[in-house]
Amino acid sequence: MQSGVQVTARGLGVRGPQGPVFENVDLDVPAGAILVVHGAAGTGRTCLLLALAGRMRLNSGAVRVGAHLLPDDHREVRRTVAVASAGPALELEPRLRVDELIAERTWLAPGVTTAAVRDALDVVGLDVPGKATAEELGTAKAVRLALALSLAERPGAIVLDDLDRECTPDQRREVWAAAGRVAASGVTLLASSAGPAPAGLDTFPLALPALSTDRLPGDPAPEEAR
């Protein structure tokens, strides 16, 4: 079992050039639990997850990740929270092969070994050929591979954005089952999806409004794409 961290936020807010991305977010996620931020595209799901991971500047509020408090302890939070995926900018390089992605992680992440990645692949239930590229795996398997690579870093929490995008019903069940096994291993999972998690999976849901101005009447409309 790995050691997850509790994540707590009060009055959390991030603003963009045209207005609030999200505002007044409160949440309490116990260690080893799954946060599921859901809402339509453009509601600020990715930005919220990055803010919780110490990778986006807060305009209001505070976050506690384990023993560390944002915004002051952002370096410690970044070391505690691994990012498996977060929008197009933070996802697996589609042209790299599985073996290359594993080797890259062992080079870049302190303490990660090939054996640790293989153990993490077992946790997410993934067995893929090393010569396959991330693009060839398809979205669902690529998401599980990204999750395994982050799990091998032995973080306190993992960010997994848009985890079931473009998934068939069967693939969606596989991805969510993998997420459940990661949480069962002790790691806190901070995830987002277009809709709520499947019934039967113990999660802490957080629904974001269609527009963050739903919370702040009269403020400028947020950007259409986040």
pLDDT tens for 182-209 read: 999 999 999 999 888 888 888 999 988 7
pLDDT value of position 1: 59
CA dist 186 to 26, 48, 65, 94, Å? 23, 22, 15, 29
CB 222 within 8 A of CB 211: yes
The number of C-alpha atoms within 13 Å of 47 and in the hemisphere containing its C-beta is 24
The answer, yes or no, to whether the previous bond of 222 is cis (omega within 30 of 0) is no
pLDDT value of position 213: 46
Report how many domains make up the chain.
1
In a domain, 218, yes or no: no
pLDDT value of position 88: 75
pLDDT value of position 210: 54
What's the CATH code of the domain at 95?
Answer: 3.40.50.300
Distance CA 1, CA 183 (A): 10
In a domain, 221, yes or no: no
Evaluated on CA atoms 192, 193, 196, 201, the torsion sign reads: negative
Going residue by residue through the chain (226 aa), what tens digit of pLDDT does each one get?
Answer: 568 999 999 999 998 887 888 889 999 999 999 999 988 777 889 999 999 999 999 999 999 999 999 989 999 999 999 999 997 778 899 999 999 999 999 999 999 999 999 999 999 999 999 999 999 999 999 999 999 999 999 999 999 999 998 899 999 999 999 999 999 999 999 999 988 888 888 899 998 875 444 343 333 333 333 3
Residue 95 lies in domain? 7-209
In a domain, 215, yes or no: no
pLDDT value of position 219: 38
In a domain, 84, yes or no: yes
In a domain, 39, yes or no: yes
In a domain, 223, yes or no: no
Model-level pTM greater than 0.85? yes
In a domain, 220, yes or no: no
In a domain, 114, yes or no: yes
End-to-end CA distance of the chain: 35
pLDDT value of position 43: 83
Nearest to 87 by CA among 120, 109, 55: 55
CA dist 166 to 73, 110, 193, Å? 36, 32, 11
Distance CA 6, CA 26 (A): 14
